[in-house]
Structure 1
Amino acid sequence: MSKRFACGLVVGKFAPLHLGHEWLIRQAQQQCEQLVLLSWARPELVGCEPERRANWLQMRFPELRSWVVTPEWVARQRARGLALPDLPHESEPDAAQRQFVADFCLAVLGHPVDAVFTSEAYGEGFAAHLSRCFGRPVQHVEINRARTQVPVSGTRLRADIHSLRCYLAPQVYGDFVERIALLGGESTGKSSLALALAEALDTRYAAEYGRERWEEKGGVLVYEDLLHIGNTQVAREQTQAEQCRRYLVCDTTPLTTLFYCRELFGRAEAELEQLAERHYHHLFLCADDFPFVQDGTRQDETFRRRQNQWYEQELTRRGWPFTRLTGSLQQRIEQVLRSLSGT
């Protein structure tokens, strides 16, 4: 059965991409043989950077053609000979915004669109402008302008993303979860602290995959295992973050994997080196200020001290702020909670 339009268009900041956007896009899909998504924000909005928006659109609508446009992207297209105007600032008149879309369609898509789908008052004027540029009718299809279907806006979400997380797909909300990273040598109470913190914060934690892999391999790791461990740890964080509440407690980071890779093999893959640069919102280093406990898998107290010194040197060299945790488990929990509250 043929659909109403050959090619439709949805334009938005998608900052962030919320379920209202998704509902509009799904409604448009039902009416179009082909649907195109176009996004830009100038100025950009914190937490909704172009790379994130592009990833959200790809994750949620992999079957659609989507573009997240920046001034740099426009410059690259011009260098290839495409006729595109400057990417308009949001303070510029509506005509400049609409003209950019018209030029984008002709230069990048290579053809006009038949319909534009919005939940906004500007939709009719937008379609009329495109009709004049294309020399053919472009229809405006209004989708739930009153927003009764999904009663939220990007502005409201940006103001209180965690309380309103029910209006975001889990994959999108996961990018707003703050990662709490715990570092520390062997027998510094890191894993016990991760579990206790997750409970105190009413959230989840990402357990250390490296230990699981070590046990799977009978305590004998090969060089290739370390990059696998780093990638799996990051993937585990991503999955857990989608189910979290504001924070995700990370029992380890790829920086730990890098340490063991260099320690065991004297080298590391460039990809693992890059993973070790992964950003965490809150970094805590567990001090080695209580007796070493040998569980049959650890080395010794001298190794633990050297490992903690390496962490401190690396964090300092990279210019990453961190908090050193000392004392009992309860004291460390209290130190973390004070740090998170800014007190």
Structure 2
Amino acid sequence: MKTKKICIIGGESTFKTTISKSLSKYFNRPWVEEYAIEYFKNRDFDKNPFCESDFLNVANGQLDLEKLSIDRNNNPNFLICDTCPLVTLLWSDKLIGYYSNELLKIAKESKYDLYLFLDYKTKWVNDELRLIPEEKERELFQSKLIEKCKEFEIEYNLLDGSYEDREKKAIKIIQDFIEKILK
């Protein structure tokens, strides 16, 4: 059986990393971290602002991490991905005002078997790479992600509420998904 990819999507500060790591442990399956965190780590954005190639590098790096995880884990039946190129496309649009045709192609061609979409309605927590503290901007980012999901014909499961609520819903959705793929 080909490895199924479960992707956690949403805006920043919605528990994506925390939940994806937790789900990986719960189901004892590989976790694919968000490549952008390492890529942009310790970068001085005043001297080296975001540019088009950054987002292409991040999208390709994310896919490379997924392939590496599949190979390293001998083609597991599924893995948990902390993000995907679709989210990178939206960050490109947000941070440099557009996305390239090449990035659009990567985002459209990267497919996942299950999407868990984390709602923006959480307390925003600052860290070195979080850029949208205003609630209206976070809502707008989510609206644009929903629009792209519709455009790309991506079905997703929206998870809201507290961290615990989101995690419980995610576990149930993945358990149901596993039952389907094992039949």
What corresponds to 1:212 in structure 2?
Answer: 38
User: What is the 5 A alignment of 1:85-234?
Assistant: 161=1, 176-219=2-45, 220-234=49-63
Distance 2:176 2:41 in 1: 39
| TM-score (structure 2 length as normaliser) | 0.84
What corresponds to 2:143 in structure 1?
Answer: 309
User: What is the 5 A alignment of 1:190-339?
Assistant: 190-219=16-45, 220-242=49-71, 243=73, 245-277=76-108, 278-298=110-130, 299-300=132-133, 301-339=135-173
The Cα shift of 1:309 comes to 1.3
RMSD between superposed Cα atoms in Å: 1.8
Q: Percent identity?
A: 23
Q: Deviations over 1:97-155 (max 9, x none)?
A: xxxxxxxxxxxxxxxxxxxxxxxxxxxxxxxxxxxxxxxxxxxxxxxxxxxxxxxxxxx
Q: Deviations over 1:266-291 (max 9, x none)?
A: 23222211111111000111012222
Structure 1 counterpart of 2:118, which letter?
C
Distance 1:275 1:224 in 2: 13
Distance 1:302 1:336 in 2: 26
Structure 2 counterpart of 1:340, which letter?
I
Of structures 1 and 2, the larger Rg is shown by 1
Structure 2 counterpart of 1:236, which letter?
L
Greater helix percent: which structure? 2
Structure 2 counterpart of 1:234, which letter?
L
Distance 1:241 1:302 in 2: 38
Distance 1:337 1:270 in 2: 35
Please, which runs of 5 or more residues in structure 2 have no aligned partner? Answer: 178-183
Please, which runs of 5 or more residues in structure 1 have no aligned partner? Answer: 1-160, 162-175
Structure 1 residue runs of 4+, over 6 Å off? none
Q: Which has the higher contact order (CA 8 A, sep 6+)?
A: 2
